[in-house]
Structure 1
Amino acid sequence: MSASFASALQAAREAAAAQHYPQGALYVVATPIGNLADITLRALHVLQLADTIACEDTRHTQTLLRAYGIDRPNGQLIALHQHNEAQAAQAVVERLRQGQRVAYASDAGTPGVSDPGARLAAAVQAAGLPLVPLPGASSVTAALSVAGAWAPGAQAGGFVFMGFLPTKAGERQAAAQRIAAEPAAVVLLEAPHRIEDLARALAPLGERPVTLGRELTKQFEEIATLPAHAIPAWLAAQPQRTRGEFVVVVHPAPPPAHGEEDGLRVLQLLLAELPVKTAVRLAAGITGAPRNGLYDAALRMQRGDAGGDAGEP
């Protein structure tokens, strides 16, 4: 352990120890996604405090703990991964019922987000026992923060997290079609041995921008934004680009371009069945035409047909 991490442990005790940490609770601990410095003071404190640490991989977590100068006997670590999560979760529940503080850490990032942990959390909830989240490093939010995933005039906000796409070609292609139809930003995760398959699946999105985050927070971090059709060539340009873990952000789809004639045509059809305010709102949403212009057009249409005043939009 370096002197800097010795200072971090002291800082963790001073900053986090004042909080109440109930016994018989599961502490879900986010760990770094690559850079060891991306650990929170509260995570360091809880990893020292816990009676048991459940781990996706006990060897990996033990290495992580030792890097921070936290020495835990192997007997205080239990394995909980995708292949044994159901039965291991019950073992954790029993320890919680005994009054132990149990911390759970996956290999990197936040448990339960494309990592084991969701079934564990569900089992603890079902047992009526408390859970305490300890947020930290996230590849998803790290990628989104630098992607600039915004499209002028796009109706949808936020993002959709899809994680890893299916490995079978047909299922992966179906997932890619769902991405194409999704107006909001879509965040994907991918392993190095499948990134070229993902690139080919996304290529039909054409000019839709995609941000690739490779080896985020690590020494050889690389971030690039390019049209979807250009991803295969970008990967092929340098062999090392197919190495390392990826976070992929498919940017929001731009709204479809509609002319004024489309807006007026839809508005006229809607006015035959709906009040002016509703017809204007729906016509604007369907065609992307400016609402103020449609409202003025609706007033003209009504004056021509009935001579009335429709009120404010």
Structure 2
Amino acid sequence: MVVSLKWRGKGGDVKIAGEFNGWEPSPTDRTHDMWQVNLDLKPGRYEYKWVVDGEWLLDESQRIDTDTSGNKNNILIVEEGCKDQKEEEGKAEVHEEMKEKIVDEEGEGSGDSDSWERVSVGDCSGEDLANKPEPGEPKPEPGETNPTLVGSTPSVQPGKKEVNIERVFSPGSEYNAEMNEGEKDEYMVEYWDTLDYTLMKEGLWLKQIKNKWILRRLDRAGVSSVEDKTEIEKYLFQALGIQKTLESYVSDNLGCNIQFNGSTHRYKYDDVTVECIQEGDLRTVSLRLQSELCPGLKKIYETARHLGLEKLNLV
């Protein structure tokens, strides 16, 4: 399994040493503003350090552990199907926003934000659906929108299952529809961690919005969110090694390391719920609809075009 390790710190001569090479410093390659080495390793756990201009250093942005002799080393976990560890971690936050699945096929969701999931099904996903005519309808000319889909409500025939559908977009330069209507809410977004970012090194991000706590956790499937207080305390105990309540962790062990303004603006466009969320410089717009799957997806993408939305971009 080939994995890539990168050193982005200063240094003129950068080598790497670890359990994978008998702790003998090995050369790395200079690529733009970083040093990089590709290693062909079997799945397992490896300890390593960087040797920069003769000095043995840790990469503070990566996982660190202390061995039986009291030495601190970086930790590399190689799993089946694992790619560049740092690259995968960087993609994980995007994966959380983009991951899609069918849920609530019986149409029993309450309709508020916590009950919605993103939807993707084979031929029923993709923007081409917005202009795909129903059987027997005339095919629109290139650049022309199927008029039967504009402003219409997807029909749900008896016996057809409804699902909660959500798609997340980025607002384009033309996005300003209905911006003076609907419900608006402003708040502060805060991320909590130890002074040396222990949680982040363990793939955990503790987020607070008003009185609501959310723990985002990096796992093999991507990034999952935990909102149950007991579950949050369980993961904090695993990371910090101290059994406490969430309130005690916050008062005794954690500090607000990152803080920025956030806001939510929710309104209706026809029968589609539009929710624009801004946290710092990041803005996303989600479109939600309860409908039969394929007609609902068509309506979602057609609404996105009317509002001037673009493909999700978190960069």
Structure with more of its chain in strand, by fraction = 2
TM-score, reference length from structure 2: 0.25
TM-score, reference length from structure 1: 0.25
Task: Choose between structure 1 and 2 for higher RCO, CA contacts under 8 A separated by at least 6 residues.
Answer: 2
Larger Rg: 1
Structure with more of its chain in helix, by fraction = 1
